[in-house]
Structure 1
Amino acid sequence: MPSTDDRPNILLLMTDEHRGDALGIEGHPVLQTPYLDSIGGGGFHFRRAYSASPVCVPARRTLMTGTKASTHGVFMNYNTHLDLPTLPGTLSQNGYQTHLVGKLHLHPFRKLYGFDSSDWADGPEQHDTSKTHNDYQTFLLENGVYGPDSAMAHGANANGWVARPFHIEDRFHFTNWCADRSLRFLERRDPTSPFFLKVSFHQPHQPCTPPEYYFNKYMNMDLPEPKVADWARVFDEPQRGIEVASWRTSLDPIVMKQYMAGYYGCIEHVDHQIGRILDHIPENTVIMFTSDHGEMLGQHQWIRKRSAYEGSARIPFLMRFPNSFGLEQGRQLDEVVELMDVMPTLLDAAGVEAPGTVDGSSVMPLLREKDSGWREYIHGECSPLATLNSGMQFITNGSHKYIYYPGTGEEQFFDLQTDPDEMSNLINYPSYEDALNAYRAHLVNELEGRAEGFVRDGVLAPVGGPTPSYLPDYKRQE
C-alpha cells in the first residue's frame, strides 16, 4: 500500500457579494444558514472581517495572492495579468492536490493559477451566445438545456435588482452545479495526498434567482426594511424608470421585498448545498468560509458594492479545524481581519511557508491564543465609485471607520460600536476630533509616496476625480 500524507485537507468555501451580517450566527432577524453557522459555531467566527477592495476582481486577486491591491495592482474590475505566487500554486508545489470549482474571475479565462484541475465558470451568463465557453454551460448543453444564454432565460439582470424564482429545475442551478462538481472531486481525488478544494459559488451575487422554495419562503416573511441615513438620502420617494443595474436606488416596497427575498433565498440555497459538501468532507479537513465583498441591499439608497460602508465591505469569515489541531474552538474573535489573511492562514495551517510576496498575516497565532501583536487597523481602497466622481479610501479597526474620497476631499467618520448601521457621520463632532486625526494619520501613512498624489506635504490632498483602476505596470497587454 502507498504511504498516505497525513497533513490536513483544506476546504475553502466562498460566496460572492455576501454581506457580513447575512448569517444566522450574526443574529440576522430572518435569514437561516444552519450549515454555515455550524462552521463558525463549532470553530471560529471573526466578527470584524473585511474586503479591503470590495469589488470582485481586486478582492479575488487579494485572496489568491495574500496581497494588498497596491501590491497586485488593481482597484476595480479590470482584467489583466497576475504574476504573483498564489495560494493553490504554493500548496500544489508542496504536495497538495488542488482543485477549483466555480468562480475565479481572473485573466485570462481558464488559466489555472496554480490549481491542478478545475470545474470553472465565473457565472451563469453566456456573454457570447455563439460559444459555450465554461464548464457550467457545457454541463447545461450536455443535459439537454439548449438555447441562447439559457441559464439567464429568467430575465433577471446579472447586476440588477430584478428578482424572481429560478426558471428551470433546481439541479440545473449554478449553485447545485458547484456542489455536484465538488462531490465528484471528492469521489475521484488521490487518497494518498492532502487536497485543497476551493468551491466558489456565484450567488448571492445577482441575478437573485434562487429556486422557488427559497424565494417564496422569504417573500412570505416580514423582511427588515433597509436603513437610510439623512446624510445618504438622494431620493424622497421610490423611483420608477431607473436602470435595473442601478447604484443609487430607491424602489417600491414590493420590488425591494422581492430583491431582498431573492438575495436571502440565494444565501439559504447556497447554505443547503454547502451542507451537502460538508457531509462528505474527511474529518482531517480545515474549513474556511468567506466572500469577496458584501452587498448594500438598499441600505443608504445604494445597491451592489464598491463602497466602504459595512454592507459592502464587511464579509463573513468563519473557520473550523480538526480536533488534532488542539484548538479551543467555539469562539468569536474581534481582531480585524481581511482577505489578504486567507493565504497565509491556510498555508500556516498546512505547515507551508508563505512566499515573501504576501502582505497579509496568518490568524493561527490568534486561534492558539498567543500574543501576536495583531494589527491596529486595515486599509482599504477602490476606484472609481459610480456617481461620486471619486474613488474611496478607508481605515477601520472594526469599532470605528474613517472614509475618505480623494476625488472630492469629502470625509466620513463612524462609531461602529454605537452605530453599526452608519447612520451618523461624526466628521464634525468635536468629541471625536482626536480619534479622527489618528485615523487620518494612518491613511497618510498608507498613501504617502503613491503615484496618484494622494498625499502632499504630509496631508491628504484631493485629486479632482477618480484615480485609475490599475497601476501602470498592470496595463493589460492585448
Structure 2
Amino acid sequence: MKPNVLLIMVDQMRGDCLSVLGHPVVDTPNIDQLAQNGVLFKNAYTATPTCVPARAAVLTGMSQTSTGRVGYQDKVPWNYKHTLPGEFAKAGYHTQAVGKMHVYPARNLVGFHNVVLHDGYLHYNRFKHNNMETESYNYSGDDYLPWLKNQVGNQADLIDLGLDCNASTVARPWHLPEAVHPTNWVVTESIDFLRRRDPTKPFFLKMSFVRPHPPFDPPQVFFDMYKDLELPDAPVGDWAEREDPKKSGYNPITSKGIVPKNRLKRAQAAYYALITHIDYQIGRFLMAMEEHGVLNNTVILFCSDHGELLGDHNLFRKSLAYEGSAKVPFILADPGNLLKLKKNGMVEEVVELRDIMPTLLDAANVEIPECVDGRSVLSLCKERAVEWREYIHGEHASGQSSHHYVTNGKEKYIWYSQTGEEQLFNLEDDPQELTNLAAVIESAQRLTFWRERLIKELSGREEGFTDGNRLIIGRETKACLDHLLG
C-alpha cells in the first residue's frame, strides 16, 4: 500500500520559532523530533505572506501569478482544476481536512472527501449586518463553534476573550478548559479520523491549526512557561521608523508603531506559548498515530502559511517581505524511513509553499499535474547534489505597502512598487535585516543584479510594473489578477 500522508499546517508561525534552530526561548520538542526524523528547510518562504494566497499555493502547487492571488481578497471562488487533495483522491486515497481552510465558499471541499471546518473568525461570515437577508451568519457551517457551545454552554463565542482576531499586540490566557481550545479540538477531530478512516485505503490528512494566529489566547499552563522569562527584544533595523507620532502602536490591531513595553512582552509570551501548545498537541497526535499503527507508514510535512512580525522593526502581523513575515517553518519527516531521507538533515536551498504539493505527490508516487509550478524537494533530501532554483519571487498587493521581493535565502531585494523604495539585505551576515544596503556604494552591483532579476519576473505582467528595462513606480495594484476574476 502507498504511504499515508499527513500535512500539519499552522497559521502565522515564524520560521525562526523552533528550538531546533536555537531560538533563545521557544520550546518545540515534538516539532524538533519531526526534524530529527527527516529534513528541515532553513530557507523556506511564502511568496504571498497572507492566508488566502499562501493557502492557494499549498493546495495547487502553483505560483501566485498562476493562482491569480497576489494579495489578500476574500470571497473569490476557488475553482482550480487540480488540487493536492483532489489528486490524492483520484489516486485512491481517503482524504480529510480538519481545521482551517480559508477557501471560498467556506464549505468548498477543494478535492477533499470531507472537511471538519474551523476557519477562526472570518469577517464576511461573521458580520450580521452584511448577511441579514439570507441569515447566512451561521459562520458558513463552522464545525468548532457549535461543538464549543455544546460543551460549555450556548452563549460561548469566538469573541468572549475580548481579543480581535488580528490583534498581534494584546494577549490573555484561554478562559475555558484546555480540552475545548481550538488547538486541542483540531487534534481531537484528527484522532477521530484515524478511528473512522477507510482501512483499505491510504489516507491524506490535512491537520490545520488556526493558531498561533491571533487571538493570542494560550491555555494558562503554557502562558506561565513564558510570562516571567527574559524574552528577546525585537530587532529594529537602521531603516525602520523609530517614532510613532500618531500613536499607532496603541491600537491593538496595529500593523506598525511603538507598543507599550509590557503589553508587547505579554503578546510575545502568549505567541510563544501558543506555539508550544500546538507542539504538545502534535505530540498527542503522534502518540495516537502509534496507537493506530500508522506512524511508521506516514510521511509528514509541517509548515505555516506565513509568519508574524511581532514587533520586528516596529512592525506587526504579516504581508510584508521581511523574515519574520515571509519566512516559514518547513519540515519533511519520515518516521518509518520510507523515503530514505537523510535524517536530521538541514537544507539551505530556497523553497516555497508551492513545493508542498509536488513533494507530497512525489512521496506517494502520484503523478504531478503539469500546471504545478513548484518542485518536489525530495531530491534535496538525499545524499547527493542536485540542481535547484536560484531564487524565488514573492509579492503582496497592499496599498502603499505593495511590494515585490526576490531572495535566495542569502540575499534579499525588496521593491515597494508605489514609492520606489528599494531595500537590499545580506541575510548571511545580517539575518535580522538590520542594515539596508541599497544605498551603500559597495553594494551597487548586487542591487543591480537583484533588480534585473525582478524586472525579468515582472515582464509582461498586466499591472505594467516594468517595460522590460526598468521598474515603473506607481502602477495600480490588485489583489487578484484578471484571469482569476474571469
Fold-level similarity (TM above 0.5) = yes
1:174 is the counterpart of 2:171: no
Letter in 2 for 1:38: Q
Structure 1's unaligned 5+ residue stretches are 1-5
Render the CA deviation track for 1:304-323: whole Å, top value 9, x for unaligned. 00000000000000111122
Q: Take 2:427 and 2:401, find their aligned partners in 1: how far apart are those partners?
A: 24
1:469 is the counterpart of 2:479: yes
Deviation of 1:443 (Å): 0.7
Match of 1:143 in 2: 151
Cα gap change, 1:317/1:457 in structure 2, threshold over 3 Å: closer, same or farther?
Answer: closer
Deviation of 1:424 (Å): 0.3
1:18 is the counterpart of 2:13: yes
Residue 115 of structure 2: SS of its match in structure 1?
Answer: strand
Q: State whether residues 25 and 41 of structure 1, in contact with CA within 8 Å, keep that contact through their aligned partners in structure 2.
A: no
1:451 is the counterpart of 2:451: no
Render the CA deviation track for 1:376-401: whole Å, top value 9, x for unaligned. 0010010015xxx1411000000000
Q: Take 1:236 and 1:131, find their aligned partners in 2: how far apart are those partners?
A: 40
Match of 1:162 in 2: 170
Q: State whether residues 238 and 252 of structure 1, in contact with CA within 8 Å, keep that contact through their aligned partners in structure 2.
A: no
1:395 is the counterpart of 2:437: no
Q: Take 2:96 and 2:138, find their aligned partners in 1: how far apart are those partners?
A: 25
Deviation of 1:73 (Å): 0.7
Deviation of 1:240 (Å): 7.5
Match of 2:299 in 1: 286
Q: Take 1:183 and 1:202, find their aligned partners in 2: how far apart are those partners?
A: 17
1:95 pairs with 92, 101, 109, which one? 92
Q: Take 2:33 and 2:418, find their aligned partners in 1: how far apart are those partners?
A: 43
Q: State whether residues 238 and 250 of structure 1, in contact with CA within 8 Å, keep that contact through their aligned partners in structure 2.
A: no
| Aligned residue runs from structure 1 range 166-315, under 5 A | 166-235=174-243, 239=247, 242-281=250-289, 282=294, 283-315=296-328
Deviates more, 1:222-231 or 1:240-249: 240-249
Letter in 1 for 2:203: F
Match of 2:2 in 1: 7
Letter in 2 for 1:143: Q
1:62 is the counterpart of 2:57: yes
Render the CA deviation track for 1:256-311: whole Å, top value 9, x for unaligned. 11110110011000100111111122111001100000000001010000000000
Q: Take 1:205 and 1:240, find their aligned partners in 2: how far apart are those partners?
A: 21
Q: Percent identity?
A: 42
Deviation of 1:231 (Å): 1.0
Match of 1:82 in 2: 78
Match of 1:435 in 2: 446
Deviation of 1:95 (Å): 0.4
Letter in 2 for 1:11: L
CA RMSD of aligned residues (A): 1.7
Render the CA deviation track for 1:107-134: whole Å, top value 9, x for unaligned. 1110100001111111157825763530
Residue 17 of structure 2: SS of its match in structure 1?
Answer: coil
Deviation of 1:76 (Å): 2.1
Q: Take 1:51 and 1:145, find their aligned partners in 2: how far apart are those partners?
A: 39
Render the CA deviation track for 1:133-159: whole Å, top value 9, x for unaligned. 300012112224321x62320111110
Q: State whether residues 103 and 200 of structure 1, in contact with CA within 8 Å, keep that contact through their aligned partners in structure 2.
A: yes
1:374 pairs with 388, 398, 402, which one? 388
Q: State whether residues 102 and 122 of structure 1, in contact with CA within 8 Å, keep that contact through their aligned partners in structure 2.
A: yes
Q: Take 2:403 and 2:83, find their aligned partners in 1: how far apart are those partners?
A: 27
Match of 2:132 in 1: none
Render the CA deviation track for 1:50-103: whole Å, top value 9, x for unaligned. 011001000000110001111111122213122221000000000011100000
Deviation of 1:418 (Å): 0.5
Match of 2:39 in 1: 44
Residue 277 of structure 1: SS of its match in structure 2?
Answer: helix
Q: State whether residues 47 and 334 of structure 1, in contact with CA within 8 Å, keep that contact through their aligned partners in structure 2.
A: yes
| Aligned residue runs from structure 1 range 341-420, under 5 A | 341-384=355-398, 389-420=400-431
Deviation of 1:427 (Å): 0.4
Cα gap change, 1:119/1:32 in structure 2, threshold over 3 Å: closer, same or farther?
Answer: same
Letter in 2 for 1:9: N
Letter in 2 for 1:14: M
Deviation of 1:405 (Å): 0.8
Residue 203 of structure 1: SS of its match in structure 2?
Answer: strand
Match of 1:3 in 2: none
Q: Take 2:180 and 2:71, find their aligned partners in 1: how far apart are those partners?
A: 31
Match of 1:320 in 2: 333
Deviation of 1:171 (Å): 1.2
Cα gap change, 1:332/1:237 in structure 2, threshold over 3 Å: closer, same or farther?
Answer: farther
Match of 1:110 in 2: 107
Match of 2:354 in 1: 340
Residue 110 of structure 1: SS of its match in structure 2?
Answer: coil
Cα gap change, 1:33/1:462 in structure 2, threshold over 3 Å: closer, same or farther?
Answer: same
Residue 338 of structure 2: SS of its match in structure 1?
Answer: helix
Q: Take 1:394 and 1:219, find their aligned partners in 2: how far apart are those partners?
A: 35
Deviation of 1:437 (Å): 1.5
Q: State whether residues 124 and 174 of structure 1, in contact with CA within 8 Å, keep that contact through their aligned partners in structure 2.
A: no
Q: State whether residues 13 and 199 of structure 1, in contact with CA within 8 Å, keep that contact through their aligned partners in structure 2.
A: yes
Q: Take 2:61 and 2:154, find their aligned partners in 1: how far apart are those partners?
A: 40
Q: Take 1:401 and 1:87, find their aligned partners in 2: how far apart are those partners?
A: 30
Q: State whether residues 250 and 260 of structure 2, in contact with CA within 8 Å, keep that contact through their aligned partners in structure 1.
A: no
Letter in 1 for 2:450: Y
